[in-house]
Amino acid sequence: MLQPVVMKMPVRAPWSNFAGRVGSRFLIELRDNQRIMGLRCRKCSTVYVPPKSVCPKCLGSLDEWVEVGNQGTLTTYTVVNYVYSDFYQPKNAPYAIGIIKLDGADTGICHFLDEVDPSRLKVGSRWQAVFKKQRKASILDIDYFKPTP
């Protein structure tokens, strides 16, 4: 009978993803113009942010780009209180992540929440995107969302 062998060691797997036609345009708009863009379904009018190429509601093809606001409403959140990987975790714990439904969008975008005490987070509160000064066509070009006054 074979016995399992357990080896504990750090594993770093450098990889990259191709964002595709839709994702690339979304990320380039973040980088070059600090604009958050979505795609509207011509059949059911749903606006998706982040954008996708096919509407999951009606299977319509998505090709109508629309700019959405950089502010929105927090629909849910969680606070991360542990470190699981210094290589893959872009923020130091504790930090908050939330889903923000941006003005003009029908779906939410998941991102970091900052400039607030995590105990004061509240569903329904208003948030605004904060862009990095040096952007690289990454979702992390939005550094985080902060509460609006």
- pLDDT per residue over 93-119, tens digit each? 899 999 999 999 999 999 999 999 999
User: Strands (DSSP E) along the chain, which ranges?
Assistant: 36-41, 47-48, 62-68, 71-80, 95-102, 108-113, 126-131, 142-147
**Within a domain: 134:** yes
CA-to-CA separations, 71 to 50, 66, 134, in angstroms, rounded: 14, 15, 21
Full residue range of the structural domain in which residue 35 is found? 20-147
Check residue 138 and report its DSSP letter.
Answer: S
* Total count of domains within the chain: 1
What would the mean pLDDT of 114-136 be, rounded to a whole number?
A: 96
Give the residue with greater pLDDT, 28 vs 20.
Answer: 28
**Within a domain: 12:** no
**Within a domain: 59:** yes
**Within a domain: 27:** yes
At 15, the pLDDT band (50, 70, 90 cuts) reads low
**Within a domain: 4:** no
At 87, the pLDDT band (50, 70, 90 cuts) reads low
Longest dimension (CA), the chain: 65
Query: First and final CA of the chain: distance in angstroms?
Result: 65
**Within a domain: 1:** no
pLDDT for position 124:
98
**Within a domain: 123:** yes
**Within a domain: 5:** no
Q: In this prediction, what percent of the chain has a pLDDT beyond 90?
A: 74
